[in-house]
Amino acid sequence: MTPLTHPNSSHLSPQPARRAAFAAGVLGLGLLAAFIGIAMTDSARAVTGLPTLLNLPPWVFWMVWMVIYPAMGVALWHVWSVRQHSGGQTALFVFALAFASNLIFMPLNALLPGLWTAFLLDLVGLVGALVLAWAFRRVAPASLPWLLPLLIWLPITTLNKLPGIMALLG
């Protein structure tokens, strides 16, 4: 098989406008969900007083997700470009589930405030990201590097909450 016909080929014809549109769309949806969640959240509740591994200011989370969402969009574009190949539809479905878990994080955390909620949502997101990476890699290996920001950040933010969870457990 040639690189153009092989289903796992990392070679894709250049379509920068479409790739940018996917990245912008994923970023836009992610920011919209974040804005809705922040609008629902009492900003005074942001400080729990519980210990964390890293004492990160809120703007760090915004900056990280400003990188993660467009990168996810580019990864999605790689899979979308070969969606007709074996596993393509499954990978898109896994993306929809993983992306939905990211989108509901802020609103759900606002409705059910607490460190446990954030920690459990982080765990769900981490498992979803790992399954997403597996599904995307099977269909479009070139998409995997674009998921690295997500795959690096989710363990950091999950582990960051661990000292607070340990304090709650006594």
Q: Is the pLDDT of residue 125 over 60?
A: yes
Kindly report the CATH number assigned to the domain that includes residue 117: 1.20.1260
In a domain, 64, yes or no: yes
Mean pLDDT across the chain, nearest whole number?
Answer: 82
In a domain, 136, yes or no: yes
Number of domains in the chain: 1
Domain limits at 132? 18-34+57-169
One-letter identity of residue 104: I
Q: In whole angstroms, how far apart are CA 15 and each of 73, 79, 141?
A: 14, 13, 17
The C-alpha atoms of residue 68 and residue 55 are separated, in whole angstroms, by: 20
In a domain, 8, yes or no: no
In a domain, 47, yes or no: no
In a domain, 4, yes or no: no
Q: Is the pLDDT of residue 3 over 50?
A: no
In a domain, 144, yes or no: yes
What's the pTM?
0.79
Q: Is the pLDDT of residue 46 over 80?
A: no
In a domain, 51, yes or no: no
